[in-house]
Amino acid sequence: MVEHSSQGTSGAAPGETPGAAGEAAVAAELKAAAAAGAPGAYRAYAELLTGRGQLDEALPWWARAADAGDADASRTLAICHKDRGDSPEAERWYRTAADRDGGCAFGLARLLQESGDTVGAEEWYGRGAALGSVECKTNGAVMLAARGEWDTALERLAEASAEGDGVATRTRQVIEAILADLADWSETLAEAEADGDPEAAYEALRDLLDPDRKGMFDTYPHMVAEAEALYARAAAIGSAKALVDQAILVARDDSRWEEAHALAERAHALGYDGADLGSAGAASVWAGAGYRVGAGAGHRGAPGDETSAQWGPPRCGPGRVTGWGPVAGCAHPFRPA
């Protein structure tokens, strides 16, 4: 850090307060030091300008600090550009330090995840976790859970929780509750199957498509397949209503619309008049309500910023969530990055 000499009051210009004169002198000193390339001066001057709200003037100095190897400066630049809607530039700055800084790795992973590049996101969550980022470990675990790798996800969440990540703790509790519900549904359904009772089979799964569980399906898409399998079992013993609900789940995937339509036709053939074959029918009701796969849990955004949302854990980047879903942030994963 650049050393600042003490400022007296005698240097104040006419009409200028001693405090203002001192601040101006410090700014001039920092600017000169930064221009001369003094160690720590790029960042010090960038921080001063940023603190004054002069972000445009600060950005070139943050860039010099980042070019000199300051990972925090790289992350700051990435966040600024992301906030301004310039994702390519944000990605460029994250990548300048992501291979050596967990915060930048987290920010890059979140950026890639938000753009739909789940393969890249998972890679950088893994690399960030190896660098010591607990947020990366948590978010990577959530991605595993999203595709049904429950055991591995729970193991990694337990590790992150032991390292003090509250998001991991809450997310682990949510997943354990989901798995407990899944086991209960399957067990109750098995009893109905043993009795050959279609109505009891359907009733065993009544809570599965409760609107309150929307976040569960959004955050953990593999639960759609789990639910489909349960409804298929109920349909196999003659439940027409189970066929309709199975169709609703299948219709979440636009590429499977023909399959959903066929299930609705089967329900109609069994005498279920609620399956409107002339339109999207029951499936469109679910889809129209916004029940689509895609959201995620865990730390969102870059470390720093923190917000909450139902059904998800805290995030990092702007925001954190809790419930069936994720959390976010930015300087700390699930804080602004």
DSSP 194-208: HHT-HHHHHHHTGGG
Span 113-138, average pLDDT: 97
Q: CA angle, 47 as apex, 43 and 48 as ends, to 5°?
A: 120
Would you say residue 51 has pLDDT above 70?
yes
d(Cα 318, Cα 83) in Å, to the nearest integer?
10
Per-residue model confidence (pLDDT) at position 10:
45
Dihedrals phi, psi of 315, to nearest 5 degrees: -115, 180
d(Cα 71, Cα 66) in Å, to the nearest integer?
6
d(Cα 265, Cα 96) in Å, to the nearest integer?
55
**What confidence tens digit (pLDDT) does each residue in 151-164 have?**
999 999 999 999 99
Place of tokens 């009051």: 9
d(Cα 128, Cα 199) in Å, to the nearest integer?
50
Per-residue model confidence (pLDDT) at position 20:
60
Coil, helix or strand at residue 239: coil
Would you say residue 109 has pLDDT above 90?
yes
DSSP code of residue 212: G
Per-residue model confidence (pLDDT) at position 297:
62
d(Cα 36, Cα 254) in Å, to the nearest integer?
59
**Residue 62: both structure tokens together:** 């943050």
Higher-pLDDT residue of 180 and 323 is 180
**What confidence tens digit (pLDDT) does each residue in 56-105 have?**
998 998 999 999 999 999 999 999 999 999 999 999 999 999 999 999 99
Split at pLDDT 50, 70, 90, the class of 31 is confident
Per-residue model confidence (pLDDT) at position 41:
83
Per-residue model confidence (pLDDT) at position 7:
41
DSSP code of residue 295: -
Higher-pLDDT residue of 46 and 227 is 227
**What confidence tens digit (pLDDT) does each residue in 194-205 have?**
999 999 999 999
The pLDDT mean for the chain works out to: 80
Higher-pLDDT residue of 23 and 313 is 23
**Helix axis angle, 118-130 relative to 102-114, nearest 10°?**
170
d(Cα 286, Cα 250) in Å, to the nearest integer?
11
Contact 127, 98 (CB under 8 A): yes
Span 38-43, average pLDDT: 80
d(Cα 97, Cα 170) in Å, to the nearest integer?
30
Question: Closest Cα partner for 29 from 54, 60, 55, 3?
Answer: 3
**Residue 104: both structure tokens together:** 């930048």
Per-residue model confidence (pLDDT) at position 2:
41
d(Cα 322, Cα 170) in Å, to the nearest integer?
7
Span 186-215, average pLDDT: 94
Nearest-10 Cα torsion for 128, 130, 133, 134: 120
d(Cα 38, Cα 217) in Å, to the nearest integer?
54
Per-residue model confidence (pLDDT) at position 61:
85
Coil, helix or strand at residue 315: strand
**What confidence tens digit (pLDDT) does each residue in 256-302 have?**
999 999 998 999 888 887 644 333 444 453 443 333 333 346 665 54
Bridge partners of 317?
305
Would you say residue 131 has pLDDT above 50?
yes
Bridge partners of 305?
317, 318
Higher-pLDDT residue of 50 and 158 is 158
Beta-carbon count within 10 A of 326 CB: 34
Per-residue model confidence (pLDDT) at position 163:
97
Question: Closest Cα partner for 165 from 297, 28, 318?
Answer: 297
